[in-house]
Amino acid sequence: MKPSVSHRIQILFLLFLGYLLVAYQNVNPSQITSEGLGPSQPMADNATEAGRALNRRVEIAVQTGE
């Protein structure tokens, strides 16, 4: 299945946010995990605009080793 334009934009945004964390916050790239899950794991029903808005999100985890 070909990713939608929206999903491709999410992936680019995730990559950009990861870059910012590495470049400006001195986060080790191996500590960053990012994944675009909107299409495959929606948080809300896509039948309404409010639900679609909730599903337009990015989540980034930074592992601290603690």
pLDDT in tens, the chain (66 residues): 677 787 788 788 888 988 999 999 999 998 888 776 666 788 898 899 998 888 877 777 788 776
What pLDDT does residue 20 have?
92
Residue 37 one-letter amino acid: L
Cβ atoms 59, 34 nearer than 8 A: yes
pTM of the model: 0.64
Full domain range(s) for residue 53: 5-62
pLDDT for 34: 75
- Give the pLDDT score at 22: 92
How many structural domains comprise the chain?
Answer: 1
